[in-house]
Structure 1
């Protein structure tokens, strides 16, 4: 029964309307699905058979974020939550002429009221790691080697993701925010140490986006 429920859940997740874009255009082979799904399943503990409250929280966030089911006003309004009378972003409501800026998944990252941008968070993540590895030559060397290529790639336009709000292709930062590991990341660095460092940067970047943008957006409300 557990196996049946697990398969059913995975099937429902993959059939989500919010994943239609990435699977419909999968012919482009943009993403490393093995790395992507391993990351989504992983909490904070290296042993996936050992879990704690933080592990469960992180995993739940990753799954809900991947299928765009975070508790934003657009979803709560459509569900008929009595306390929600509009799908508009409450922070943009009095700051724009258009009072109907929907608080959808893309808007959470694009909102001009955000204290941090995706790009600023990337640079902060790199500086954090540089500070952590300053006395560790083995890790500092690959970090220095892959940084420029990583920054360049993240600033490129995604071939798949299109913002619901602008109608334009988002930058690869948005793939990162969603948890999609782009295949181009695997081409950065020729050694295993450098390739592993790219994943370290990417994961730190992802978690910092969650903390700096989403928690700031929700006034540090746990999801």
Structure 2
């Protein structure tokens, strides 16, 4: 029988352990079996990049720790687990003054994690933000006179946009853009190019998009 080899990555996120092996993720040492992990055997995600992002290593080193880092890590892990204090979550926790789960802005749907991003009262759609963010990213590169990066971006921007609006094989009924909102990096982005400089820019653009969604919705 072939012996399975598993790699384990561990990190601390606000004094709690998030651990991963090849196909499973554990939170507080309990196996997470829902949502992103129903079809995890398909190996759709780059978990190394995902966990580096959630642990905020894309902005801070292992040895750095301050209020900004702590707040960002807290936000990212709560987004990943869909634990932000929406009306739905607060109602389930029986928080005072929360009479029902309905969104107070549109009053049409329960304000759960998904509704936050697609509420009809949002000023812009997820697709519009994506298009504008890619354009803004190019403007920043041009302003910084990063000619090589500009050429790379123009070479990959259509593929990047199309992948974002591709149906997710894991979050059924949603686009891959919804995986990004959770902070999960799909392997399809790694397949756009084998060149290191391309991969670096694609990952940086992905991070830039995540930050824009956080600020605009």
Question: Same fold, TM exceeding 0.5?
Answer: yes
For 1:8 and 1:180, the matched residues in 2 are separated by 18
Root-mean-square deviation (Å): 2.1
Conservation of the 8 A alpha-carbon contact between 1:130 and 1:143: yes
Match of 2:119 in 1: 111
Q: How many residues align?
A: 197
Counterparts of 1:31-50 in structure 2 under 5 Å? 31-42=45-56, 45-50=59-64
Q: Which has the higher helix share?
A: 1
Report the CA distance between 1:16 and its aligned residue: 7.2
TM-score of the two chains, using structure 2 as the length reference: 0.83
TM-score of the two chains, using structure 1 as the length reference: 0.81
Mark the runs of 5 or more structure 1 residues left unpaired by the alignment: 163-168, 214-223
Among 189, 193, 205, the alignment partner of 1:185 is 189
Conservation of the 8 A alpha-carbon contact between 2:117 and 2:126: yes
Counterparts of 1:28-107 in structure 2 under 5 Å? 28-42=42-56, 45-93=59-107, 96=108, 101-107=109-115
C-alpha distance after superposition, 1:58-106 (max 9, x if no partner): 111000000000010001001111111111101111xx4xxxx110111
Q: 1:120 to 1:13 in 2, by over 3 A?
A: farther
Mark the runs of 5 or more structure 2 residues left unpaired by the alignment: 1-11, 20-25
For 2:65 and 2:16, the matched residues in 1 are separated by 21
Q: 1:190 to 1:171 in 2, by over 3 A?
A: same
Conservation of the 8 A alpha-carbon contact between 1:16 and 1:67: no
Give SS of 1:187's match.
Answer: coil
Greater RCO between the two (CA within 8 Å, min separation 6)?
1
Match of 1:154 in 2: 164
Match of 2:133 in 1: 125
